[in-house]
């Protein structure tokens, strides 16, 4: 049967709210018939766009580059993520992938090569390992708070969120020498949020540092940690051994997978609690709700807007016919706010214990850092509320966001009574 | 009450064990230790087992009859 993939199939032509003119007037772009993940208008109208999309246009189309589809419902995202045979990661996780973009492993691999890496990496990133570094992370949070608490204000991204994930990962997971940290964390930050024309140079600097770090560790006695596991490598499905470049790529994927995402999760947690004193009070009164609250924060404010797959064969999702080679995106941020799975998706409900969402991905590529990120977010929330129970967004300031395939926050001023 | 943990769907979110640590056990990587199995839910743990089932982002847990 031939499917009708015209915009009329995707967007209800009778709905005046969805007419191209009305959408352009409201958002500066018709995001439903021609989505663009990099359009600054998406940044400005972010939640309005994704909420309307998941409600009324669960399959948006984009004409950018070779074109792509964005699937917004929790069910479609889950189906695509789980079916790696049909939806391959090997051609990149962003649409129109630039040729000069360095290969990321394991995120740009399919089973069985992907499985070979995950099997050996997973035990180093599991919940037990993360439980064991809980107190260390709490100490890091407190050391950062010590530096600004007496001032009665801080720029949360620069002084807390931008520093904690790097310190947690580099010190306690990768075991990078502590003396190297300030520069490394600074360089990672510049490579992500620095001036556009400097990002590539900083990215190269981080790459060179991590490659040198691996080289040095190769010459040392094994320590039984994740670095040794990466150095040992894996055998791929065709019998070949993972190359040196692939090993460096794994370290880069672990580094970049975790920094910007966790910064945003910390930032949106802090902002939500600053703006909602009554929910802050709930957590002060019921600290046992903090882990649920973390799930709600990442569900409602997903750091990954969307990531993609390439169709390996003709197929159909949500009634839309897809062809081999088509690019599809999983809209994680809209899927976490899907009214089909969450009764009141815009409200955060800390008492509700059965929260499910695809914020950490679905299927074999499920975020390998999810246990680390969840632990960091819970420890942060507990320690921050213990030290600074009442705080607000500083009067006269506005949090600053950036949006691409990731949602990011680059500035958040908070203040409290000294 | 009995629960089946799907072997191919479980991808190690570890959410099930958060809500029902006496029902679902995780391996060191955070995957359900009983993938491919049907497990008997201890009596009194039915509510927790259901919460854990619903919290699974992969829908890897299903209740089976008997
Ligand atoms: C709140 C924080 C985080 C969020 C929301 C997040 C989200 C995600 C998502 C959605 C994916 C799936 C990608 C796909 O399906 O193609 C993913 C994969 C990945 N994440 Fe995270 N992540 C977070 C934190 C971290 C941390 C802390 C680390 C590392 C220390 C990390 C490392 C990775 C890696 C290496 C992958 C690729 C896994 C694979 O392809 O098998 N992430 N993450
Ligand atoms: S929540 Fe689901 S995917 Fe996660 S460990 Fe449990 S069964 Fe597996």
Residues of B whose CB is below 8 A from A373:
none
Task: Give the residue whose CA is nearest to atom 4 of ligand 2.
Answer: B13
In chain A, domain spans: 16-415
Pocket test for ligand 2, best of B41, B54, B60, B63 (most atoms within 8 A of CB): B60
In the prediction, which pLDDT does A195 show? Answer: 84
**Is there an atom of ligand 1 within 6 Å of A358 CB?**
no
In the prediction, which pLDDT does A353 show? Answer: 76
Q: Distance, CA A76 to ligand 1 centroid (Å)?
A: 19
Rounded CA separation A397/A11 (Å): 38
CA distance from start to end of chain B: 7
Ligand nearest to C-alpha B39: 2
CA nearest neighbour of A258 among A159, A125, A156, A144 = A125
Residues of A whose CB is below 8 A from B19:
353-354
Rounded CA separation A9/A225 (Å): 52
Rounded CA separation A70/A72 (Å): 6
Q: Are A82 and B58 in contact (CB < 8 Å)? A: yes
Helix (H, G, I), strand (E, B) or coil at A249: helix
In the prediction, which pLDDT does A99 show? Answer: 82
Q: How many A/B residue pairs have CB atoms within 8 Å?
A: 58
CA nearest neighbour of A336 among A306, A308, A364 = A306
Please indicate, yes or no, whether the overall pTM of this predicted structure exceeds 0.90: yes
Residues of A whose CB is below 8 A from B59:
78
Chain B: give the shortest CA distance to residue A128, in Å. Answer: 7
Atom from ligand 1 closest to the CA of residue A250: 35
Q: Which helix (H) or strand (E) holds A401?
A: strand A400-403
Q: Are A127 and B14 in contact (CB < 8 Å)? A: yes
In the prediction, which pLDDT does B66 show? Answer: 63
Rounded CA separation A185/A256 (Å): 11
Residues A186-227: tens digit of each pLDDT: 898 888 878 888 888 999 999 999 999 999 999 999 999 999
Residues B14-51: tens digit of each pLDDT: 999 999 999 999 999 999 999 999 999 999 999 999 99
In the prediction, which pLDDT does A182 show? Answer: 87
pLDDT higher at A199 or A233: A233
Listed in sequence order, the residues at least 6 apart from A293 whose beta carbon sits closer than 8 Å to its beta carbon are A269, A279, A283, A348, A350, A381
User: By the CB < 8 Å criterion, does A299 face chain B?
Assistant: no
Main-chain dihedrals φ then ψ at residue A16, nearest 5 degrees: -60, -30
Homologous superfamily (CATH) for A16-415:
Cytochrome P450 (1.10.630.10)
- The full set of domains in chain B, from first to last, is 2-64 (3.30.70.20)
Q: Which of A49-53, A186-190, A355-359, B58-62 has the lowest mean pLDDT?
A: A186-190
Listed in sequence order, the residues at least 6 apart from A126 whose beta carbon sits closer than 8 Å to its beta carbon are A371, B12, B14, B26, B27, B28, B29, B30
Tokens of A406: 């990731």
Atom from ligand 1 closest to the CA of residue A265: 1
pLDDT at A2 over 80: no
Confidence of residue A8 (pLDDT cuts 50, 70, 90): very low
Residues of A whose CB is below 8 A from B15:
356
Residues A234-279: tens digit of each pLDDT: 999 999 999 999 999 999 999 988 899 999 999 999 999 999 999 9
Listed in sequence order, the residues at least 6 apart from A359 whose beta carbon sits closer than 8 Å to its beta carbon are A298, A299, A302, A303, A304, A332, A336
| Mean pLDDT, range A341-347, rounded to an integer | 93
Handedness of CA A106, A112, A115, A116 (dihedral sign): negative
In the prediction, which pLDDT does A193 show? Answer: 79
Give the residue from chain B lying closest to A352, CA to CA.
B51
Confidence of residue A9 (pLDDT cuts 50, 70, 90): low
Q: Which residues pair with A77 in a beta bridge?
A: none
Helix (H, G, I), strand (E, B) or coil at A309: strand
- Compute the mean pLDDT over every residue in chain A, rounded to the nearest whole number: 94
**Is there an atom of ligand 1 within 6 Å of A365 CB?**
yes
| Mean pLDDT, range A96-122, rounded to an integer | 93
């Amino acid at each position: 049967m031939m499917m009708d993939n015209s915009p009329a199939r995707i967007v209800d032509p009778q709905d005046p709210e969805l007419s191209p003119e009305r959408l352009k007037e409201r958002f500066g772009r018709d995001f439903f018939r021609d989505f663009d993940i990099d359009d600054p208008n998406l940044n400005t109208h972010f939640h309005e766009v994704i909420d309307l999309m998941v409600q009324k246009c669960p399959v948006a189309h984009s004409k950018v580059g070779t074109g792509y589809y964005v699937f917004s419902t929790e069910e479609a995202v889950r189906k695509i993520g789980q079916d790696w045979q049909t939806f391959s990661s090997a051609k990149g996780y962003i649409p129109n992938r630039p040729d000069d973009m360095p290969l990321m492993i394991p995120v740009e691999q399919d089973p069985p090569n992907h499985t070979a890496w995950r099997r050996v990496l997973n035990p180093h990133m599991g919940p037990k390992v993360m439980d064991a570094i809980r107190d260390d992370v709490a100490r890091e949070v407190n050391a950062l708070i010590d530096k600004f608490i007496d001032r009665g204000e801080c720029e949360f991204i620069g002084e807390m969120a931008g520093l904690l994930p790097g310190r947690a990962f580099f010190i306690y997971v990768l075991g990078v020498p502590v003396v190297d940290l300030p520069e490394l964390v600074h360089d990672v930050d510049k490579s992500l949020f620095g001036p556009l024309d400097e990002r590539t140079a900083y990215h190269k600097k981080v790459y060179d540092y991590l490659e040198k770090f691996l080289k040095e560790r190769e010459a040392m006695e094994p320590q039984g940690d994740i670095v040794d596991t990466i150095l040992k490598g894996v055998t791929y499905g065709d019998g070949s051994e993972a190359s040196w470049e692939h090993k460096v790529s794994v370290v880069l994927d672990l580094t970049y997978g975790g920094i910007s995402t966790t910064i945003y999760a910390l930032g949106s947690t802090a902002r939500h609690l600053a703006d909602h004193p009554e929910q802050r009070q709930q957590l002060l009164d019921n600290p046992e709700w903090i882990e649920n609250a973390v799930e709600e924060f990442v569900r409602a404010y997903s750091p990954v807007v969307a990531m993609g797959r390439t169709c390996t064969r003709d197929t159909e999702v949500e009634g839309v016919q897809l062809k081999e080679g088509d690019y599809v995106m999983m809209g994680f941020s809209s899927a976490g706010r899907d009214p089909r799975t969450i009764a009141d998706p815009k409200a955060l409900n800390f008492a509700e214990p059965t929260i499910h969402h695809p914020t950490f991905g679905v299927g074999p590529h499920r975020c390998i850092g999810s246990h680390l990120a969840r632990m960091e977010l819970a420890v942060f929330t507990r320690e921050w509320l213990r030290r600074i129970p009442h705080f607000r967004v500083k009067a006269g300031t506005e949090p600053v966001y950036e949006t691409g395939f990731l949602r990011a926050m680059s500035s958040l001023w908070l203040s409290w009574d000294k | 009450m009995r629960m089946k943990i799907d072997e191919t769907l479980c991808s190690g979110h570890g959410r099930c064990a958060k809500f029902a640590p006496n029902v679902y056990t995780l391996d060191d990587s955070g995957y359900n230790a009983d993938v491919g199995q049907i497990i008997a839910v201890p009596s009194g743990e039915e509510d927790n087992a259901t919460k854990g089932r619903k919290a699974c982002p992969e829908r890897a847990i299903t209740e089976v009859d008997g």
